[in-house]
Amino acid sequence: MASMDIFEGDAFSIIELTRALENIPYKPATLSGSGLFGPRGVRSRTVVTLRDEVLPERIPAAGVMILRDGQPGEPEVTLSPLRYHYQHRAELEVVVQAGTGRASAFDTLIAAIGTAMEADRTLGGLCDWVEPEAPASVDLPIEGAAALKAAVITVVLHYTTTGPLA
């Protein structure tokens, strides 16, 4: 059986590949200009997560989550050793946009957030405890587009520091 050693001889050289591409009646670069294919939006299954950003003009199919830093509030202070105990209230804005299936997509996203928080109540050791509050959802009609379903989830972050700026 004859074989070709691809390491010694070039089994399929770049020159041969270029010649083969040049002989194709419809070159890949001209396919878009042929009118056979039209541009189509890409639907993502990934939730876009942002921090302290404005709501984007386009909402992906899976939705958008925007973390708002919130306020740490007044800490409880203990002396000897000096410690500041905070119950920081952050907000997580959750938005889904769809013509149909909006409620189920929203419920799936809320459930995934709950599962993630229950799996790691300390955020990898950054907090002593993370406690989400129940969201109150609202449907927002958008003129000329699919409606939005949104909610604000307040997340209470319990943590202790050695100083207000630590």
Q: Which two tokens stand for residue 6?
A: 């691809």
Q: Where are the domains of the chain?
A: 48-161
pLDDT digits (tens, 9 = 90+) for 11-25: 445 555 556 655 655
Helix (H) or strand (E) holding 42: none
Taking the C-alpha atoms of residue 139 and residue 136, their distance in angstroms, rounded to an integer, is 10
pLDDT digits (tens, 9 = 90+) for 37-48: 444 444 456 788
The two most distant CA atoms of the chain are separated, in Å, by 85
Band (166; pLDDT cuts 50, 70, 90): confident
Q: Does domain 48-161 have CATH number 1.20.120?
A: no
**pLDDT above 80: residue 130:** yes
